[in-house]
Structure formats: structure tokens, C-alpha cells
Copies of this chain bind each other. A is one copy, B any other.
Amino acid sequence: MATIKDVAKQAGVSVATVSRVLNDNGYVHEDTRKLVIEAIQQLSYKPNEVARSLFKKKSRLIGLLLPDIRNPFFPELARGIEDEIQEQGYQLIIGNIDEKYPKEMDYIQTFEQNNVTGIITATNLTGRSHYDDLSSPVVFLDRTFNDHPSVFVDGIEGGRMAASELVKRGSKRITILKGPAQLQTAQDRFNGAIAELRSANVDFSVIETSSFSFSDAEIWAEELFEKYPDTDGILASNDVVAAAVMHEALRLGKAIPEDLQLIGFDDIPLSRLLFPPLSTIRQPAYDMGKEAAKLLIRLINKETHFEKNIQMPVMFIERQTTRKVEENG
């Protein structure tokens, strides 16, 4: 790999001049600039980002922490972030926590040690505060944490909406899968849902779950139908769990949506492809990623006067695990 010295020698100038050309900084004579650019091309020189980062104490890297890359919701977030930051010349490092939260600390440390310019995290457990004394800006995505910058949806409203749609379509004995207790977002959905059900005076039961993972979801699904075989409406904590529940329901011979209605949460790509296609509360994951990235870049650039807590809309996506509202309205 050619270094800046090689380029300087080749162009017959000093390294400072090469650096000026590279960074479009200070004064460089047009003729000199041409010489340098030619030398750069001849040697196909690429600046060493490590050296650059050492001096500047900033890299072009942005760190992203995800709870579980196997849950399709999170890659979708990542894609939004990626598209946004690449336009600005940044690069994404993804750290997968795998729902093992001690890993979170390790990744944060690695990010810091590698001078990341900013961090976007979708992993913070409620009540933890190891993000407080970081030198780089942090954006919380799909999470909120004190008054830190964040991009999120209104989970309470989402839960309420799901419950309301289910009730509107005639479910009488609803079962809620309550997501992991440590996750504020999951609790918000849950609280929104039960508030709605109580005010509508509808009977409901609750199944507690402790993760969003594919492999665990099947267990909750089985438990659900053992405990509440006559449930006629289910609010799943997310689409992955909903897929597992639907699978189990069909296996047991239940008719969806006639005997049993089901609403998920997230609207991951596969939800459309399930059969019947899953009705769900959509979180605009890709756009949330984009917004988080924009927010982070503003923080990095030390801009002022912009909204630091961005709430994105949830939306009921009516597919075929819920009945038509006219039928029962």
C-alpha cells in the first residue's frame, strides 16, 4: 500500500501539500494540485483511515448495536441507517448483542476503542446507563432512554390500536403475549393494549414471554393454546411471535380469521408472505433507521435547533388474520 510519503515523493512535493489536496484544505497551487492528483492515481493511493483516525480522534465509522440480527425487524433498521450514512461518507459497524446484554458493554468498548464517530443503539435495557459517559454521540433507536436523542414509535398507541382493531372486529376472549419485561417498548405496547381492553370492558388473559427469538416463540405459542384454548383474538408481541402463534393455531386446526383473529407488531417483510397474510401494527423500520441516522449526523455535526426525540407513526396494516370490520360492526 502506497503511503502519503510515496505520493509526496512521486509528485515532488511535501506530505503537507499532499494532505492539503486530500482534504481540500489551505492553499495549494492549481498546478501542484494536478501533480498530486496524478501521483495519487498512478500509485492508486488510498489514505490510511487508521492513521487519520488516530490524529483526528474521529473515524468514519458509525457503530450500530442490535439485539438480534436474526429478527428481521433489525436488519430493516440497519438498511435505513446504512442508506443514509453512506451518502455522508460514513461506514456502518454492526454489533449483534444476540439478546445477551453483557455483550453490549463489550461492543461499546470496542466502538470507543476504534474511535467511532457516533453510535446508534437498539439494545439498551431499561435502567442501564452505560451510555452516559461516552465521548461520541448516541442515538437510541426503537428505544428511549431518559432525555437522550431517540427515534421511536408510540408503543402505547400501537398497543391500543391493535387491541381496538381486534375488539372492533368482534374478538371477545383476547390473549396478549406480553413481551420481555425489561424492554420498555414491549411494556408500552402491553400497557396500551390492556388500557384499551379495560376501557372497552373486554375479557383478556396474558402470556408472559422473555424474548423475541424465533426459537423461543414456538414455546410461547404452545403454552398459549394449552392455557387458553378458547381464545378468539391474540395480540402478539411482535411479528415473529405472531408467525409462531399462527403456525401453532393452524396446526391445531383453527380457522383464521373466522375462529381466531391475530395481530402482530412490526410488519417485517415476511408478514406479507405468511398465509393468511398477517395483520399487524406497522413500525416504519426502514424510515426509523433513516431518521436515526439523520439525527446522529446532526449531533456529530454539532448542529443545533432540531428535534432530538423523534416519534414515528404506527399504522394498522389490515391483512387477513383479522376479519372485515363490516362483518361484525
Contact = CB atoms under 8 A, between A and B. Distances in A.
Interface residues of A, number: 52
Contacts of A217: 273
A93 to B, nearest CB: 5
Contacts of A49: 110, 113-114
Interface stretch (A159-167, A241-249, A257-265): A241-249
Nearest to A277: B247
Contact of A50 (B78, B91, B115): B115
B109 A269 contact: no
Interface string A195-236: 000000000000000000011011000000000000000000
A96 interface: yes
Task: Count chain B CB atoms within 10 A of each CB in A50, A72, A96 and give the residue with the most.
Answer: A50
Contacts of A95: 91-92
Interface of A: 1, 46-51, 53-54, 59-61, 69-70, 72, 75-76, 78-79, 82, 91-96, 98, 107, 109-110, 112-115, 135, 214-215, 217-218, 243-244, 246-247, 250-251, 269-270, 272-275, 277
21 contacts: A1-B112, A46-B109, A50-B53, A50-B54, A50-B113, A50-B114, A51-B54, A69-B69, A70-B75, A78-B96, A82-B96, A93-B93, A215-B269, A243-B270, A243-B273, A244-B273, A246-B275, A247-B272, A247-B274, A247-B275, A274-B275
